[in-house]
Amino acid sequence: MISIAYLNEQNHQIAELAKVLAYLFQDREMCDSEVTYELFERYLEKFDAHMSKNKEIYSTMLNNHDGSVKATVERFMEGEREIKRVFKAYTSKWCTNGLHIANHQEFAKESDEMFELVWNRIQAESEQLYPFFREYRDAA
């Protein structure tokens, strides 16, 4: 069984990387840095790995016959699909063989929006999904 503490630690690492990247992305010259791109790749990898771990929670809870449990899980799964769609569009636009920034202002704005989307997701997991899963698991 997946550990909620482990998932929270993953969220902390994702949030930490996002804060560093958001800071670096404000400086146009830093966007072209190989180190910055490596950090961004690490961010994407950690987020993908985290979403894979959340699937364990989803599969466990979807086996429940309670409609509210299924509705909650489906809402989080839909949110995950939306974030993945945004990530795909973002990386297709800005990240082909490194970061390619033609319009820094637009890049910084879209990056901030993406980081905010992920931050909101992290908060929702910590405040809603994981406590809900803990209750579900403890009641079983």
As a whole number of angstroms, the distance between CA 133 and CA 60 comes to 9
As a whole number of angstroms, the distance between CA 43 and CA 41 comes to 5
Q: What is the mean pLDDT of residues 64-72?
A: 82
Domain count across the chain: 1
Q: What is the pTM of this model?
A: 0.88
Token look-up 């560093």 returns: 20
Domain residue limits at 94 = 4-139
The per-residue pLDDT for range 4-32, each reduced to its tens digit, is 999 999 999 999 999 999 999 999 999 88
Token look-up 């579900």 returns: 136
